[in-house]
Amino acid sequence: MFSHQKYEKQYYLPPTLSYDWVKKETVEKAPTWCSVDLRDGNQALPIPMNLDEKLKMFQLLVDIGFKEIEVAFPAASETEFKLVRTLIDNNMIPDDVTIMVITQAREHIIRRTFEAIEGAPRAIVHLYNSTSEAQRRQVFKKSKEEIKQIAVNGAVLVKELAEQTEGNFYFQYSPESFPGTEVDYALDICNSVLDIWKPTPDHKAIINIPTTVEIAMPHVFASQIEYMHKNLVYRDAVTLSIHPHNDRGCGVSDAEFGVLAGADRVEGTLFGIGERTGNVDLITLAMNMYSQGYDPGLNFSNLDQIRTKYEELTRIKVHERQPYSGDLVFTAFSGSHQDAISKGMKYRKENKIEKWDVPYIPVDPADLGRNYQTDVIRINSQSGKGGIGYILETNYGIKLPYKMNEAMSYFAKNVSDQSNKELSAEEIYQVFKEQYVDFQPYFQLIDYEFHKGEKQEVTLTLLKDNQHVVIQGEGNGSLDAISNALKKHFDIDYALEVYEQQSLGTDSIADSCAQIGISLQGHMYWGAGIDEDILMASVYALVVAVNRLIAYQANEQE
């Protein structure tokens, strides 16, 4: 039965204190990033990565710029143990990278963990045990003091084995299931562990606060973190870390608020892969900083390649709407959005703007290796003239007059609506050709010849009703003469209102595209022509425009 009455608040507010985090605007300095893809992310995969895939993932994380990487739970499986040994024995850990291994606060697991990391150049031993009221009562059936003693005993053994094992070791403790733990009790356990380890500013310990299951709003978590931040012992010798999950969909907010509240370090995964709804997405966090003008310390300039590699190794598909990394996150289908983006991109180019400030697009897609031509504006039945004009101009160099662009958009949207699909740039160009370049159902121009006289004179050969027809005209110029010949032959008196043209390339033999708009009794009729010779392109455009006018009159008479 769907009933809210069987639920109640399960989180704990800290003792009263004045909160400073609410006065801060944004995260200005990157925290220490720790990727947990190889452990926390991997354990959530339907098909966990094998050893070779894990080694490739480790290298991917190094290439991105992570300096701390949780690689394994060595006591969990032989593959996990072997990964750690492979990295150490083959000197695969860069000098500036620290690996991390995780262990429960249980003696045989801790001992197996130290067997795995013997000889490590730099390794963090991550000790944890669950502390929440629900787990104490339901799972362990132990008192607060007994749960605390588990953490203390684990801390003692970790310290002893570190002194007996070759390697360079740092310690981390997590009160797992923190959101359901009384905050002052969690603080007491963490301080008790720190009293065992006695960290120094030159050899810090890490206290990691996980939102193992997210059960409260982000401001509650921030308040809890600030309480921990202000009350931890050895604070100048402690790195305060957070490990947000995403059960309420607020993992990113938890992380950002947590850093504002005093956290120095964030654990998470690429694309947010993790148990249930996942871990916090470190790409989103880093790019949020980047979009505000701050250096996140991670490099996502080839994000498409990172995503492809990640999907290959994890067999998990990144959602199309995943912030920054999804296929569609920089794509506008809406007509009004497309129009604003198109104008914004044009304004940026014309005014040589350095700072990014394009409507609807928070960061420059090119910074992430994305393509303006294929990613930013895509066309379906919801699109508008701005988007369609942008596609033609960006991909083909064809810049349509405003009203012609509007008319073209109706044709393209109708095709998308009838086919019930998105149109590619090639398909949009084909619609343009069919409607404005090749549209000649009533007559075609076969040839023309100019003659000298007081005015420009011309003789045209048309193909009409499968017969060649020769007509003549004169005017003040070449195009005017041809236009007058067509007016006389078809007994129409339109006005040539719009004439535009542009080169479709940069070299001397590039095609030109001409657009012509003629009007009669308040209606506009458009045509386009493409040819190496600008006059020929203009003539072809006029022929199409007149064909459109005749087609309109024929439909009106039916």
In the DSSP assignment, the letter for residue 138 is: I
Backbone angles phi, psi at 223, to 5 degrees: -65, -40
Distance CA 355, CA 373 (A): 21
Q: In the prediction, which pLDDT does 348 show?
A: 87
Domains along the chain with CATH numbers: 29-314 (3.20.20.70), 335-436 (no CATH), 444-557 (3.30.160.270)
Decide: helix, strand or coil at residue 371. coil
Distance CA 470, CA 460 (A): 6
Name the nearest CA neighbour of 424 among 383, 370, 364, 367: 383
Note the pLDDT tens digit of each residue in 40-72.
Answer: 999 999 999 999 999 999 999 999 999 999 999
Q: In the prediction, which pLDDT does 454 show?
A: 79
Assigned token pair, 417: 């609506």
Backbone angles phi, psi at 410, to 5 degrees: -65, -40
Contact predicate 250/214, CB 8 Å? yes
Assigned token pair, 498: 């719009």
Distance CA 40, CA 34 (A): 11
Residue 558, C-beta contacts closer than 8 angstroms, at least 6 positions apart: none
Q: How many residues are given for the chain?
A: 558
Backbone angles phi, psi at 118, to 5 degrees: -60, 130
Contact predicate 428/420, CB 8 Å? no
- Asked whether the CA dihedral 135, 141, 147, 151 is positive or negative, the reply is negative
pLDDT in tens, the chain (558 residues): 777 776 788 888 887 777 888 888 888 899 999 999 999 999 999 999 999 999 999 999 999 999 999 999 999 999 999 999 999 999 999 999 999 999 999 999 999 999 999 999 999 999 999 999 999 999 999 999 999 999 999 999 999 999 999 999 999 999 999 999 999 999 999 999 999 999 999 999 999 999 999 999 999 999 999 999 999 999 999 999 999 999 999 999 999 999 999 999 999 999 999 999 999 999 999 999 999 999 999 999 999 999 999 999 999 999 989 999 988 877 766 667 777 877 888 888 889 988 988 888 888 888 998 876 565 555 554 655 567 787 888 888 898 988 998 889 888 888 888 888 777 888 889 999 999 999 999 999 999 898 877 788 999 999 999 999 999 999 998 999 999 999 999 999 999 999 998 888 766 567 889 999 999 998 999 999 999 888 999 999 999 999 999 999 888 776
Q: In the prediction, which pLDDT does 393 show?
A: 85
In the DSSP assignment, the letter for residue 317 is: P
Q: In the prediction, which pLDDT does 375 show?
A: 58
Ordered alpha helix ranges (H), 167-302: 183-197, 218-231, 251-260, 282-291
Which run of H or E residues covers position 85?
helix 78-89
Contact predicate 210/242, CB 8 Å? yes
Which run of H or E residues covers position 337?
helix 335-350
377-380 long-range contacts, CB within 8 A, separation 24+: 377/331, 377/332, 377/338, 377/341, 377/342, 378/331, 378/332, 378/333, 378/422, 379/333, 379/412, 379/413, 379/416, 379/422, 379/423, 379/428, 380/333, 380/413, 380/416, 380/421, 380/422, 380/423
Name the nearest CA neighbour of 76 among 113, 120, 131: 113
State how beta strands 32-35 and 68-72 pair. parallel
Task: Kindly report the pTM of this predicted structure.
Answer: 0.78
Contact predicate 271/277, CB 8 Å? no
Assigned token pair, 202: 């030159």
Rg (CA), the chain: 34
Q: In the prediction, which pLDDT does 333 show?
A: 66
Name the nearest CA neighbour of 236 among 210, 283, 204, 275: 204
Distance CA 204, CA 237 (A): 5
Q: In the prediction, which pLDDT does 191 show?
A: 98
